[in-house]
């Protein structure tokens, strides 16, 4: 037996009077029977009320208001009201039993977590995001991606702003609608039994509806962030040629350190700073350069000559100045009869001769950390002009005799290891052993 019929029966139990309802829904004919005169009176009352209730919606607003007032003042109202409340309470319990204790939506939780991690929701993370930072760290990049980072941050901030604006709008709309519904319910509670719990339940329903809208908003935001992120990461993969100046700096270093083109960390950092690229980009560049140079020495010959010639003068000047300086500082130094000019050998390690220039090593002299590289360059020029031939080919001006038989660069015997005691900490000389 359902609640409604039970209600009617309950009402019938208190002597429901039979009445046909005019102009509207017809109630089933009430049972007639065995009631007395007093019962007839109550039947009449209830019949009136039912009639009024059933016809109230068919009437104009004024008429309805008048009827509502009449109903409110009816002597049977409290009894009817309590019955309705009882029924509604039971109905409400059954509904609550089915709907209460909603477990948190895992999808919503995921969305929330992601938005939080990306810095879209939650407290402001300085406009940045963990993703951007992680991506930067992963690339080993420091400042190279600053432009992309700021771009990413700006876009993320935009998304964040839109998200919060929309969220605010939704919340406002939700609150307004809730208030409106609550007012309506309170208003209606004058004529029909609406318990505070029921209002609460209604509010819950509204909130659930709005939260589903919110979820859509969160989903869209997440998608936007994902797209932005993938674009950002793709952009990072994009190759951009280094500036001409940067390439020149790197090439100069490479060809002037051809005997050992392995820049130290410090050297890399300095090169990176000079070229406005990252240290890892410098490493990449040298890695590529080494392998490509080794693979096709002939192809790089011209380039090598070019850079060697370019730096030769500088190198010569620097070495000469250093020697002169050394002579000035130690006038009685033996074997200083070279007068700053090099007795260049056609074979053997030029560097060793440089070392014996003053009858001693560079220790104590201020020749500078770049001497070895300059020697490399000089050696190149010497080879070029002096027709050094190592049998690799007639056109090998700058012969790669730094490459060992295995195709690798000399390591332990490279000048770098020889000069290491004299090199200052700030030297850009390569000392990375292979």
Binding site for DNA (CB under 7 A): 139, 234, 236-242, 247, 262, 281, 283-285, 287-288, 290-292, 294-295, 299, 407-409, 432, 434
Q: How far is the CB of 225 from DNA (least distance, A)?
A: 21
What residues form DSSP beta bridges with 403?
Answer: 409
257 neighbors 263 (Cβ within 8 angstroms): yes
SS3 388: coil
Contacts of 392 (CB under 8 A, 6+ apart): 297, 399, 400
Q: How far is the CB of 139 from DNA (least distance, A)?
A: 6
Q: How far is the CB of 238 from DNA (least distance, A)?
A: 5
Q: Smaller CB distance to DNA: residue 214 or 281?
A: 281
Q: Smaller CB distance to DNA: residue 157 or 432?
A: 432
Q: How far is the CB of 413 from DNA (least distance, A)?
A: 15
Q: Smaller CB distance to DNA: residue 59 or 417?
A: 417
Q: How far is the CB of 298 from DNA (least distance, A)?
A: 11
| Spatial separation of the C-alpha atoms in residues 359 and 336, rounded to whole Å | 7
Contacts of 387 (CB under 8 A, 6+ apart): none
416 neighbors 255 (Cβ within 8 angstroms): no
Q: What angle do CA 176, 181, 187 make, to 5 degrees?
A: 125
Q: Of 234, 267, 240, which is closest to residue 253 (Cα–Cα)?
A: 267
Q: How far is the CB of 247 from DNA (least distance, A)?
A: 5
Give the total residue count for the chain.
434
> How far is the CA of 129 from the CAs of 26, 125, 153, 253, 315, in angstroms?
66, 7, 7, 37, 48
Q: Smaller CB distance to DNA: residue 207 or 231?
A: 231
Q: Smaller CB distance to DNA: residue 59 or 434?
A: 434
Q: Smaller CB distance to DNA: residue 71 or 277?
A: 277
Q: What is the DSSP letter of 421?
A: G
């Amino acid at each position: 037996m359902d609640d409604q019929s039970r209600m009617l029966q309950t009402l019938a139990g208190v002597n429901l009077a039979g009445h046909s309802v005019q102009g509207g829904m017809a109630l089933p004919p009430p049972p007639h029977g065995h009631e007395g005169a007093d019962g007839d009176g109550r039947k009449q009352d209830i019949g009136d009320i039912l009639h009024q209730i059933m016809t109230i919606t068919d009437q104009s607003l004024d008429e309805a208001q008048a009827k509502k007032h009449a109903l409110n003042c009816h002597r049977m109202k409290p009894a009817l009201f309590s019955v309705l409340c009882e029924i509604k309470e039971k109905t409400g319990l059954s509904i609550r039993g089915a709907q209460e204790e909603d477990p948190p939506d895992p999808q919503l939780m995921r969305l929330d977590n992601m938005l939080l991690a990306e810095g879209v929701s939650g407290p402001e993370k300085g406009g940045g995001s963990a993703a951007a930072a992680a991506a930067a760290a992963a690339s080993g990049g420091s400042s190279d991606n600053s432009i992309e980072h700021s771009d990413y941050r700006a876009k993320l901030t935009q998304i964040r702003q839109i998200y919060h604006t929309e969220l605010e709008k939704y919340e406002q709309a939700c609150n307004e609608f809730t208030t409106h519904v609550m007012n309506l319910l309170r208003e209606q509670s004058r004529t029909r039994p609406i318990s505070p719990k029921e209002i609460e339940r209604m509010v819950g329903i509204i909130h659930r509806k709005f939260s589903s809208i919110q979820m859509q908003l969160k989903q869209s935001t997440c998608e936007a962030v994902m797209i932005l992120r993938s674009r950002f990461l793709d952009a990072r993969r994009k190759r951009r040629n280094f500036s001409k100046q940067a390439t020149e700096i790197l090439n100069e270093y490479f060809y002037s350190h051809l005997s050992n083109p392995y820049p130290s960390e410090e050297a890399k950092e300095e090169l990176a700073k000079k070229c406005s690229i990252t240290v890892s980009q410098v490493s990449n560049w040298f890695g590529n350069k080494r392998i490509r140079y080794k693979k096709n020495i002939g192809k790089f010959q011209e380039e090598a000559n070019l850079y060697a010639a370019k730096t030769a003068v500088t190198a010569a000047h620097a070495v000469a100045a250093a020697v002169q300086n050394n002579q000035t500082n130690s006038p009685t130094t033996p074997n200083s009869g070279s007068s700053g000019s090099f007795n260049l050998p056609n074979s053997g390690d030029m560097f060793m001769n440089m070392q014996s220039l003053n009858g001693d090593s560079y220790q104590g002299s201020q020749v500078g950390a770049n001497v070895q590289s300059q020697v490399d360059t000089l050696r190149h020029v010497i080879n070029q002009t002096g027709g050094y031939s190592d049998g690799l080919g007639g056109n090998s001006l700058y012969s790669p005799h730094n490459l060992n038989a295995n195709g690798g660069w000399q390591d332990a015997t490279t000048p770098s290891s020889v000069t290491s005691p004299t090199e200052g900490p700030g030297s850009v000389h390569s000392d990375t052993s292979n």
